[in-house]
C-alpha cells in the first residue's frame, strides 16, 4: 500500500509512518491528531481517495493520500461500504507500523462521510 505526500512523493506505508514520527518529533510537546478518511467521486469510473492527516493541533498538519479507481459504483450503500472498508484497511496497516514506534498507543480518528441525498 503506497501513499503520496505532495512534497516527498510516493511512499510505502512504512516510509509514511517514519515521516509522521519525524514530524511529531520536531515538536514532541505539541498535541497531535491522526486522522484517516476516504471519499469518492463517480463519473465514468469511481475514484476513491484515502487521506491520512497528522494534525499538530493549532500549528499545521502534514497529509498523505492514495487513489484507487474502480468500475462505476452505482449504489450509495456500496459506495459507503467501500469508503469505510478502505479507511479501516488503512488504519489497520497504519497501526501495525505505528506498533513498531513509541507511538503504538496513538489514537486514530476515522472519518466517514455519510451524507444525505436530497430530492427536489
pLDDT tens-digit profile of 57-108? 999 999 999 999 988 787 888 888 999 999 999 999 999 999 999 888 888 9
Residue 30 is predicted with a pLDDT of 94
Concatenating the DSSP letter of every residue in 58-120 gives TS-EEEEEEEEEEEPP--HHHHHHHHHHHHHHHHHHHHHHHTTSTTTT--EEEEE----PPP-
1-42: per-residue pLDDT in tens?
Answer: 899 999 999 999 999 999 999 999 999 999 999 999 999 988
Amino acid at each position: 500500500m503506497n501513499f503520496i505526500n505532495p512534497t516527498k512523493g510516493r511512499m510505502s506505508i512504512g516510509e509514511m509512518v517514519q515521516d509522521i514520527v519525524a514530524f511529531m518529533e520536531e515538536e514532541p510537546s505539541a498535541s497531535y491528531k491522526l486522522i484517516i478518511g476516504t471519499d469518492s467521486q463517480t463519473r465514468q469510473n469511481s475514484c476513491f481517495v484515502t487521506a491520512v492527516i497528522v494534525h499538530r493541533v493549532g500549528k499545521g498538519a502534514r497529509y498523505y493520500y492514495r487513489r484507487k479507481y474502480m468500475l462505476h459504483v452505482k449504489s450509495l450503500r456500496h459506495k459507503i461500504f467501500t469508503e469505510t472498508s478502505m479507511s479501516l484497511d488503512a488504519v489497520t496497516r497504519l497501526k501495525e507500523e505505528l506498533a513498531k514506534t513509541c507511538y503504538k498507543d496513538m489514537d486514530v480518528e476515522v472519518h466517514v462521510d455519510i451524507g444525505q441525498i436530497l430530492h427536489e
